[in-house]
Structure 1
């Protein structure tokens, strides 16, 4: 029975430089051309056991091995490494290269040519990546308006960056492309927003001219024996009208979550709250219907929209 080819422990799962591994005597070029290894980029390989076609972290590891000094993973790829995954499937790794370095974008690597200062690059799990504030600054001004708010909200919520720090960074970079949009985004940003769809739902209501909402509002009620009790937390709220606005993601369909939701909604309704629930289809395809329902709810509460 043929023996399984030996895999050096240092090359078992992570991408590596083929030329460096050969020079170190860990593998041969003939081995790298065999079925146990996958070529990701010129001179960059990974063992078949560590290969996942659309694993963005694997591609970040691979691309990082090819970056010159002064370059960094940036944009949506940096946000991904910081814990904010807003990437479409099979997205290329976004990198920023200093002006002197020349490299073309490919299917797997999207290149921005701009010099970064040493203060704008950090190491995250061993990879060169733009700092949290630089990542938020870039996404907030480069993405379309809604997507930029989604990204900034998510980075704020994960505490990758704080709003005052991002505002200060923006003040020192006035005149850069997209800073007018970013300045507006900062007036709309909400660190308490817990999902991209919550942000999108909030923006739909804001853009319709409805009153500002309170995010992640805790609702309390009265109990004869226990006094003031916690009834639940709602995604968005108009507390003075006792209107709760919820985004319903797929996780709400899970049995345990569904049962908790039913009990929470019954408690909110018993306390006099009107709860409106919306799905991704509502937010993305029927925003006018959302606005109409929320506006009607406010009028039902006998307080005209101002």
Structure 2
């Protein structure tokens, strides 16, 4: 009768180096070739019960096991580890390599090269990453423009980075690639933006020439708090809100109705938009907001 090797807890939940597991006597190469283990990268395996094909944390753990000295996780991967959710489902792991380090290409790996001084490196959640400041700097200088702003807003929202510190950091690196884009992103950045889609909606309106506007404005009537709105033109009492999927829940819907009625009673016009409005019908969205602003703006009295 064949007796299976005892599998330590660390091998049942996290990626590991196969050669190390074999050297330590936990597994054999024959076992690793069996159905219990999934090969992620050369010499990196994970237990089949812990394998999730689009689990970014799993891939970060796996890639970290293969990083050459001085290399770190960076870009969107680092931002995601810091709690800024700026990934799509199948986003590859971003690695920053200082020259002359090398890493084997892989479809789940995005390799970037750049100077990486010691102060720009740290460890977070047990993994080597660029610091939050360096992460925001890198993401803010690589397009597309809207994605750069979304990433910077997300890190600012998590309070992993402060906008003045990021501006100072960027000012010391004016010659780096992407510096002009970063300057534009920093001029548009909004730490109060509460979601990537809210950032996209705000940028859509600003690009249409409908600014300036105020993020997360508190509406008060008679000294009493009424509501906090995503985007506002306070002088005109016009609010624009992004409604995510959670607004479809019954309890949230009831709260939304009561809140909307309170804002209307306070004299506010509230326009609500979804992801489809922002991504697929941007012209119509801008036209609705432009019309509301025109209706509320006082017309000049002819002499």
Q: Give the TM-score, by structure 2 length.
A: 0.95
Cα shift at 1:6: 3.3
Equivalent residue runs for 1:254-273 within 5 Å: 254-273=249-268
Residues 30-69 of structure 1: pairs in structure 2 closer than 5 A? 30-69=30-69
For 1:280, the equivalent position in structure 2 comes to: 275
Match of 2:22 in 1: 22
- Give the corresponding residue for 2:246: 251
Matches within 5 A, 1:141-220: 141-220=141-220
Q: Give the aligned partner of residue 131 of structure 1.
A: 131
* SS in structure 2 at match of 1:85: coil
CA contact (8 A) 1:104 1:111 kept: no
Q: Does 1:301 align with 2:291?
A: no
Q: Deviations over 1:64-96 (max 9, x none)?
A: 011112100011111111111222222211101
Query: What is the CA–CA distance in structure 1 between the aligned matches of 2:38 and 2:285, rounded to whole Å?
Result: 49
Q: 1:2, CA displacement in angstroms?
A: 8.9
Which deviations, in whole Å up to 9, do the C-alpha atoms of 1:93-128 show, x marking residues without a partner?
110112111224320111112231111110001100
Provide the rounded CA distance (Å) in 2 between the counterparts of 1:49 and 1:251: 30
Question: SS at the partner of 1:39?
Answer: strand
Q: Which residue of 2 aligns with 1:238?
A: 233
Judge which range, 84-93 or 15-24, deviates more: 84-93
Q: Distance in 2 between matches of 1:83 and 1:9?
A: 26
Query: Partners of 2:298 and 2:21 in 1: how far apart?
Result: 71
Alpha-carbon separation, structure 2, partners of 1:267 and 1:125: 43
Name which of structure 1's ranges 32-41 and 122-131 shifts more when overlaid on structure 2: 32-41
1:215-237 CA distance string (max 9 Å, x none): 01111123xxxxx3211111001
Task: Give 5+ residue unaligned stretches, structure 1.
Answer: 223-227
What is the CA–CA distance in structure 2 between the aligned matches of 1:231 and 1:77, rounded to whole Å?
39
Cα distance in 1 for partners of 2:30, 2:138 equals 43
Q: Please give the alpha-carbon distance, in whole angstroms, between the structure 1 residues aligned to 2:241 and 2:263.
A: 12
**Contact kept? 2:5, 2:26, Cα under 8 Å:** no
Number of positions where the alignment pairs a residue of Structure 1 with one of Structure 2: 300
Show CA shifts across 1:34-56 (max 9, x none): 22111111011111121111100
Deviation at 1:3, TM superposition (A): 7.5
Task: Give the secondary-structure state (helix, strand or coil) at the position aligned to 2:84.
Answer: coil
* RMSD, aligned CA: 1.7
